[in-house]
Amino acid sequence: MEQCCAFPGARHPRVVAPPAGRLIGAAPGPLDTARRTPVKAVSSNNVARILVVGGGYVGMYTALHLQRKLKQQLREGSIEVIVVDPDPYMTYQPFLPEAAAGSISPRHVVVPLRRVLPQCTVVVGEVTDINHDERRATIATLAAEETGDGAIEVVYDELVLAPGSVSRTLPVPGLADFGIGFKTVEEAIGLRNHVLGQLDIASSTRDPAVRDAALTFVFVGGGYAGVEALAELEDMARYAVRYYHNIKPEDMKWILVEATGRILPEVGPDMGRYAVRELRGRNIDVRLETRLDSCEKRVAQLSDGSRFPTRTLVWTAGVKPHPILAASDLPLTDHGRLKCNATLRVDGVEHAWSAGDAAAVPDLTAEPPAKPDEPRPVCAPNAQHALRQSKVLAENVAATVCGGTVQDYRHKYVGSVASLGLHKGVAHVYGRKLRGYPAWLMHRAYHLGRVPTFNRKARILAEWTLAGLFKREIVSLGSLENPRAEFELAAGTGRHNEAS
Ligand SMILES: Cc1cc2nc3c(=O)[nH]c(=O)nc-3n(C[C@H](O)[C@H](O)[C@H](O)COP(=O)(O)OP(=O)(O)OC[C@H]3O[C@@H](n4cnc5c(N)ncnc54)[C@H](O)[C@@H]3O)c2cc1C
């Protein structure tokens, strides 16, 4: 690693020129002293550094709460909060299906971290290693990648580790080659363009096999992401085909493959069954207790023996904890999540905290296990817990840094809402079950209330209102993914872009 003296753009650069590597707040220096003494005792000329890894639900909300709670200390420079994320924005994932359907613009489902966290230092980069024993994290930044400068190291006093989860893939032949994920805004918009692109292919080919494969859409996984993405995209495609002279809605095959006997477990069994009926009523082929065995050569082979040539295979069959957790020296559960206690502190480790998808936090509202040696149930990985945990997490980190008592996280899951396309949905909230239009309205109202910043709320509301007045957008902008193609062609160096 190469030598460097300051973090580009750091609000309170307190960097001690390191012997090697880009080291921020490196030893010997004020931070290092702070690390060895109780953080509460940090003197006025020292700065307590809180490193937040991940700027998603937990990371962004924790930093937001810290920013409010520690306003004065941040202003006078006695505390510093650094937020690291590979993207300069937080993605409001529950709105990805609506973004894929074109009901919300992509830039409105993301929240710019620099805008909402002006008192924090936002670093666009990926934490690649955490040595908590030495309170040191390694960050690979874009600049480091381009210039080959090497990674940056940050030393910290308190660590909030919230990198969330990644798609859980299985060794299904062909999956790595043809599968499409649905966790990021890029994937959501890419999928929208891809689906609309398939309609164009189907409409323009004379080959029935190509047409059939283009009009077959297979989604694997019946959780939030899979069901909402399929339902929204089917709804959008059904609308779009009215503008194609040679495609009818019944020409399309939409298939949902789910390994268990139910979908949307979050809304409970009754509403899950309703969702299956609703989707089947729209001619969507919902296959329960079925697995994807292979998708080699773009043919989806299912465990019930059926085969579907398809150009669209969306994989949303669950998530697993982010691999960075395993690269740290912190304790993990058998499932790879960080072992946390109810205060959201990493179990048995001082100054390390976590929440959200990455953390196994005991659910204090769940029935205790029947046998004393059985583990306590942990909070499910969802936005509801992530959001509420981040508030407690910020309180507890602030209490640790400034002096105060930490509190336990306790929240009874209140249920869930899910959209099944425009004007269709299911909800099971506070024991009340809703379906159809009221559930869809509740889904929109709930998420509009939750999406961060007034600015975003207003823009999304305006988009929804305008969408109610005008026709839906059905244009595919797949070429956006390859913006130089036209110029390369003109310059004689490019190739014709193959339809994906
Ligand atoms: C399509 C979809 C729809 C959903 N709908 C719902 C819903 O309706 N209701 C609900 O309750 N839940 C829903 N969820 C789940 C919910 O979004 C997650 O539970 C929640 O986002 C978890 O928050 P988190 O902060 O743990 O992780 P995330 O929000 O995923 O944030 C993790 C962040 O860490 C960053 N990161 C990753 N690796 C690194 C690294 N090495 N260094 C630095 N940063 C890193 C990532 O870029 C990301 O920004 C949905 C999820 C998806 C994908």
> Is the pLDDT score of 360 beyond 70?
yes
> Is the pLDDT score of 348 beyond 90?
yes
Q: Mean pLDDT across the chain, nearest whole number?
A: 86
Give the nearest ligand 1 atom to 417 CA: 8
> Is the pLDDT score of 498 beyond 50?
no
Position with higher pLDDT, 333 vs 169: 333
| pLDDT attached to residue 24 | 52
Nearest residue by C-alpha to atom 5 in ligand 1: 94
Asked whether the beta carbons of 232 and 101 are under 8 A apart, the reply is yes
Could you give the residue range(s) of every CATH 3.50.50.100 domain in the chain?
175-317+416-469
- Taking residues 179-185, report their average pLDDT: 93
356 lines ligand 1 (CB under 6 A): yes
25 lines ligand 1 (CB under 6 A): no
CA distance 371 to 236: 50
Centre of ligand 1 to C-alpha 202, Å, is: 34
Total length of the chain: 500
> Is the pLDDT score of 419 beyond 70?
yes
Centre of ligand 1 to C-alpha 386, Å, is: 9
85 lines ligand 1 (CB under 6 A): yes
CA distance 373 to 232: 44
Could you give the residue range(s) of every CATH 3.50.50.60 domain in the chain?
22-165+322-402
pLDDT band at 37 (very low <50, low <70, confident <90, very high): very low
Pocket test for ligand 1, best of 51, 52, 57, 185 (most atoms within 8 A of CB): 57
Task: Provide CATH code, domain 22-165+322-402.
Answer: 3.50.50.60
- Taking residues 332-361, report their average pLDDT: 96
362 lines ligand 1 (CB under 6 A): no
| pLDDT attached to residue 480 | 67
- List, for residues 15-25, the tens digit of each pLDDT value: 333 333 445 54
Percent of the chain, pLDDT > 70? 89
> Is the pLDDT score of 136 beyond 80?
yes
| pLDDT attached to residue 413 | 78
99 lines ligand 1 (CB under 6 A): no
| pLDDT attached to residue 7 | 38
- Taking residues 8-20, report their average pLDDT: 35
Least confident piece of the model among 1-5, 228-232, 410-414, 475-479: 1-5
Residue type, 273: R
- Taking residues 457-465, report their average pLDDT: 94
Alpha-carbon dihedral sign for residues 56, 58, 63, 68: positive
Nearest residue by C-alpha to atom 23 in ligand 1: 57
CA distance 488 to 322: 38
221 lines ligand 1 (CB under 6 A): no
Strands 110-112, 89-91: pairing kind: antiparallel
CA distance 482 to 318: 30
> Is the pLDDT score of 31 beyond 60?
no
Give the nearest ligand 1 atom to 229 CA: 1
| pLDDT attached to residue 205 | 95
Burial class (CB in 10 A: 0-12, 13-18, 19+), 94: buried
Pocket test for ligand 1, best of 61, 62, 85 (most atoms within 8 A of CB): 85
| pLDDT attached to residue 273 | 92
> Is the pLDDT score of 129 beyond 60?
yes
Least confident piece of the model among 51-60, 95-104, 307-316, 480-489: 480-489
| pLDDT attached to residue 14 | 31
Residue 89, beta-bridge partner list? 112
Asked whether the beta carbons of 124 and 87 are under 8 A apart, the reply is yes
> Is the pLDDT score of 372 beyond 80?
no
pLDDT band at 28 (very low <50, low <70, confident <90, very high): very low
Pocket test for ligand 1, best of 266, 325, 357, 443 (most atoms within 8 A of CB): 357
Name, of 24-33, 282-291, 404-413, 415-424, the range with top average pLDDT: 282-291
pLDDT band at 499 (very low <50, low <70, confident <90, very high): very low
Domain 175-317+416-469 sits in CATH 3.65.10.10: no
> Is the pLDDT score of 478 beyond 70?
no
- Taking residues 231-240, report their average pLDDT: 95
Closest C-alpha among 121, 131, 125 to residue 151: 125
> Is the pLDDT score of 472 beyond 90?
no
pTM: 0.86
pLDDT band at 196 (very low <50, low <70, confident <90, very high): very high
| pLDDT attached to residue 142 | 80
Centre of ligand 1 to C-alpha 57, Å, is: 6
- Taking residues 46-61, report their average pLDDT: 95
Asked whether the beta carbons of 387 and 450 are under 8 A apart, the reply is yes
Burial class (CB in 10 A: 0-12, 13-18, 19+), 358: buried
Helix H or strand E segment including 236: helix 224-240
- Taking residues 71-84, report their average pLDDT: 95
> Is the pLDDT score of 299 beyond 70?
yes
Pocket test for ligand 1, best of 93, 165, 186, 230 (most atoms within 8 A of CB): 93
95 lines ligand 1 (CB under 6 A): no
Least confident piece of the model among 1-10, 129-138, 360-369: 1-10
- Taking residues 69-77, report their average pLDDT: 94
| pLDDT attached to residue 495 | 60
Centre of ligand 1 to C-alpha 323, Å, is: 14
